[in-house]
Amino acid sequence: MDGQVFLDWLNAHPDWITFAVAFLSLVESLAIAGMIVPGVVLLFGAAGLAGSAGIPVWEILVAGVVGALLGDGISFALGRIFHERIRTLWPLNRYPNLLDQGERFFHQHGGKSIVLGRFVGPLRAIMPLVAGMFGMPAGRFLLFNFISALGWAPVYLLPGYGVGLSVSDERTVPPGFYPTLISLVLLLGALAGLFSLLHWHVRPEGRFYNWLVRHARQWAVVRLWMRRMASYRHGYPEYPLPSLLLALSSLVAFALLALLVVHGHRIWILNQWIAGEVTVLQALGVRSAMAVITTLGDPAFLYLGFMAIVAGLWVTGRHWQAAVGVMLTGLMTHLSTSAMKQAFGIVRPDGGAVFHSGAFPSGHAVGATVLTGLLATFIARERPRRERWRIYLMAAPFPLLVGISRVVLGVHWMTDVAGGWLWGLFLVATFRVLFSPLDRRPVWPGTQGYRMVLAVAVLWLAYAVLRLPDTLHLYGAGITLPS
């Protein structure tokens, strides 16, 4: 396939762009074709044409997800049908080492290899095939495939779409936009690195963990606290030091941010600058996508999500203590956020045109962080320590996107969202600390946790679809509603 000829034809026939994105996503994910066709380049070009043509970003993302699901589904079916005979088929018979690498990756990571492998170039197109070869249950494959497609589509399509938007937009990007964007990305990377560093070193086999335990035992009060808060699930005391440090650091960071919001001047210059810059994004057609994403933090959905987790904890093993803890955490999320909104009294960027409540901290950012964090911690607890970071990494984009959507929609300042993330982390970490002495048996072993994630995801999709007209009307027309 001559890629330039194809893109030129697509540019002359923009009505086919969405279909082309779905088709290219299918081909890129298909075991055999994905190894021959330059799908990444063509997807970037097609997404760029979509941006320049003004096609809504959500339409392109949905097309990418659907195409990826179909391509991986076909590959999985081929693996189930041909099994070991797949090695004799062209072009796989020309790359036996690649198939061997896929097998080792699958045996090492199990179901997660479907998610992780999608972002590993050489393995991306063969992991569903390998999963089918080794008889992975279809339901489990569909779950991991759905999660991977949701993460894959934005990563592969949004860069090209953004380039297309910037080329077609007559407005010039304000001075300092890209340096500031890079600075924010580097800051997020530094925070992620710090979290990873704490995760690896504050564990029973880590030096820092043992140093803390050794020095803490010198104090009688601390020794008593450690005995009461330890988990003895594995027959020896496990202290919730990572969660405790996360809770303390999040609380301190939130307090410092709150001081800057109340008494700082420069922080408001930054807030107003960011609020002005996102008007570029609003004008470029991403408002509808942000309105859909922001429903992940809607109070109504959060209530449903917390109830689903509570029901899942009870149904899967009568974990009534964990269920009560989740209910109390959800209640504390609502009460504490509402109280702080009232206490700080920060006015929203839109002056309260959509919601009347205070701005700081963002309730959507808090709620999405707590809901996602609780799911992630329950799942990660049942995995080996060396693998838990992957669970948190896969969970992080959801509260991040919800927070960004609040800024793009113009209903929150950036500091509101940052405060929401920090307060949400504090609540999740506090739950883990308090739940530690009650953590005596597995909560969601095996794939139960992933099934719970799928249930919550389906719940959100149903909620988002049912609420779509009202959501678009609310954030598009600026109707005044009580919050």
pLDDT tens digit sequence for 163-197: 676 555 554 545 555 555 555 555 555 666 666 56
Say if CB 373 and CB 435 are below 8 A apart.
Answer: no
* Least confident stretch, 127-141, 270-284, 450-464: 270-284
Residue 64's H or E segment, with its range, is helix 57-82
pTM: 0.62
Quote the CA–CA distance of 267 and 84 in Å, as a whole number: 61
Q: By mean pLDDT, which of 234-238, 436-440, 476-480 is the weakest?
A: 476-480
CA atoms within 13 A of residue 367's CA, in its CB half-sphere = 25
The answer on pLDDT for 379 being more than 70 is yes
Q: What's the whole-number mean pLDDT along residues 80-84? A: 74
For range 382-392, the mean pLDDT? 76
Structure-block tokens of residue 194: 């710090």
The pLDDT of residue 479: 38
Topology adopted by domain 177-201+240-477? Vanadium-containing Chloroperoxidase; domain 1 (1.20.144)
Separation between Cα atoms, residue 186 and residue 374, nearest integer Å: 26
Range(s) within the chain of domains with CATH label 1.20.144: 177-201+240-477
User: Has residue 437 got a pLDDT over 80?
Assistant: no
